[in-house]
Amino acid sequence: MKNIVVVGSQWGDEGKGKIVDWLSEQADVVVRFQGGHNAGHTLVIDGITYKLRLLPSGIVRKNKISIIGNGVVVDPWALLNEIDEIKSKGVQVHVDNFIISESANLILPFHREMDEIREDTAGKGKIGTTRRGIGPAYEDKVGRRSIRVMDLRSEKNLDQRLEAVLLHHNAIRKGLGKKIFEKNQLKKDLLKIAPDILKFSQPVWLRIDEFKRQKKKILFEGAQGILLDVDHGTYPFVTSSNTVASSAATGSGCGPNSINYVLGITKAYTTRVGEGPFPTELKDSIGEILGTKGKEFGTVTSRKRRCGWFDGVLVRQTIKISGIDGIALTKLDVLDELDEIKMCVQYDLDGKKIDYLPAAVEDQLKIKPIYKSFPGWKTSTNGIKNIDELPENAKNYIYAVEDFIGSKISSISTSPERDDTILVENPFET
Ligand code: GDP
Ligand code: IMO
Ligand code: MG
């Protein structure tokens, strides 16, 4: 049995959706385990684009089970809209192929409003969140006042829990001079959609245990990236969940021994959406080329993604933090036209050379990247499926990245299309 966790090794949008979809041909079950509809995972299959936020990327294939685990925060209306949207593209979503954990915590409208209020009043300190209510929802989970999927079963429980959570939110809202949030309309709205959500709800840990005993292959699909992890990322410019691979165990209800291989998805350059440190950011014409050629606009918010050179120091660090066994290198084709390609191999902090990202955000903002330079290949790699067909300079760049980060590059993606992928080593067979 081989179960794989896919995580982003940078600041998200590395191409996790494409790679999960490609790998899910070999999997039986695909599980989302953290994050929420802040994620935007894009799949392109025979020219048709699918954008997934909450649904696991295995959903588009027939005869696969898709699971939203307990670690995900779920906006029930966003989920229902997404189901309708994907069904309109001919994808089946029904109780036999889709499960949501009864313990998943809900994102409710007052979470979204709190996210917006905070961002709008933070001035220079704003995070640049997706404004989907992710942070406030995770706060309520840890604060033990959250509403979970299972609470939709009983009007009495729902009423009591809404009372408790709104007591908290309304105290803050009053303090900020905002209107208090009324319970009754929200309760009515939730009870109206409750059957549509509850029909998918199950104890996920139990189903995963069954799948393991049946020797089914499970693919865990991470959202965001390790540098957005609330513990290990560029705090406070992070998301509010643990995005590292070990979250797959807590976020779905299985032990760490259920994970056999961690695949880190890594862009051949670097992007970031929202605020926060970005040592290799390019604010020049090369940054523009990467953004235009790589179509670097947010899947969820359409915001322009900040672009920069590949940061080997960061990826080497996230490989260690998350226990990454192999890398899928994506968007190599975006570098095709460049004369010169650079990789950050060290930082300068106040005249001192350092080999890792310092923990304090003040230092992260100060460090200057030290680069190694590579000649470009100036020829198209778009759609190449065989490593031998790559230009020599592209191979040299890939091997230099592999050598520096200290992890095997097990696949290389050369276009958004599912099958435009070079397989070097099958993670399901290692
Ligand atoms: P995710 O959040 O990690 O799933 O990534 P996103 O879907 O948000 O962003 C990745 C973008 O790059 C999407 O538009 C993909 O279709 C696209 N993409 C993925 N792999 C490649 C690739 O190898 N080459 C190019 N040009 N685009 C890619
Ligand atoms: P996928 O799964 C890129 C970023 C936001 C912001 C920070 C906090 O598509 O890779 P949040 O709304 O989570 O509180 O915002 O995290 N962010 C992402 N950036 N890809 C994502 O997901 C992201 N999800 C959140 O832009 O900087
Ligand atoms: Mg994305």
Q: Is the CB of 299 under 6 A from ligand 1?
A: yes
CA of 34 to the centre of ligand 2 (A): 12
Angle formed by the axes of helices 392-405 and 312-322, nearest 10°:
50
CA of 13 to the centre of ligand 1 (A): 7
Q: Is the pTM of this model over 0.95?
A: yes
Q: Is the CB of 102 under 6 A from ligand 2?
A: no
| Spatial contact of 70 and 161, defined as CB atoms under 8 Å apart | no
Nearest CA to ligand 1 atom 26: 415
Length of the chain: 430
Written as six digits, the tokens of 356 are 């890792």
CA of 14 to the centre of ligand 1 (A): 6
Rounded to whole angstroms, how far apart are CA atoms 332 and 250? Answer: 33
Ligand 1 test: best mutation among 42, 221, 289, 318, most atoms within 8 Å of CB? 42
CA of 416 to the centre of ligand 1 (A): 6
Phi, then psi, of 79 in degrees rounded to 5: -65, -45
Nearest CA to ligand 1 atom 1: 13
Atom of ligand 2 nearest to the CA of 225: 10
**DSSP states of 370-430:** EEEEEE---S--TT---GGGS-HHHHHHHHHHHHHHTSEEEEEE-SSBTT-EEESS-TTT-
Active site residue 13: yes
Residue with tokens 């409003």: 113
Atom of ligand 1 nearest to the CA of 224: 2
E-strand stretches of 13-138: 29-32, 41-45, 48-52, 65-68, 73-74, 98-101, 105-106
CA of 188 to the centre of ligand 1 (A): 39
The single residue of 21, 37, 41, 115 carrying the catalytic annotation is 41
Three-state DSSP class for residue 66: strand
Three-state DSSP class for residue 352: strand
Q: Is the CB of 222 under 6 A from ligand 1?
A: no
Active site residue 232: no
Q: What is the pLDDT of residue 1?
A: 59
Q: Which of 73, 181, 191 is nearest to 135 (CA)?
A: 73
Q: What is the pLDDT of residue 298?
A: 86
Which secondary-structure segment (H or E) carries 341?
strand 340-349
CA of 127 to the centre of ligand 2 (A): 10
176: CB partners within 8 A, 6+ apart: 117, 121
Q: Is the CB of 415 under 6 A from ligand 1?
A: yes
Please give the DSSP secondary-structure letter assigned to residue 125: G
Nearest CA to ligand 2 atom 25: 38
The end-to-end CA distance of the chain, in Å, is 11
Written as six digits, the tokens of 254 are 């299985």
Atom of ligand 2 nearest to the CA of 131: 12
Angle formed by the axes of helices 109-121 and 134-142, nearest 10°:
110
| Spatial contact of 301 and 272, defined as CB atoms under 8 Å apart | no
Written as six digits, the tokens of 397 are 């760049």
Mean pLDDT by 10 residues, the chain (430 residues): 93 98 97 98 96 97 97 98 97 97 98 97 94 98 98 97 98 95 98 98 98 97 98 98 98 96 98 97 97 92 94 98 98 98 98 97 97 98 97 98 97 97 93
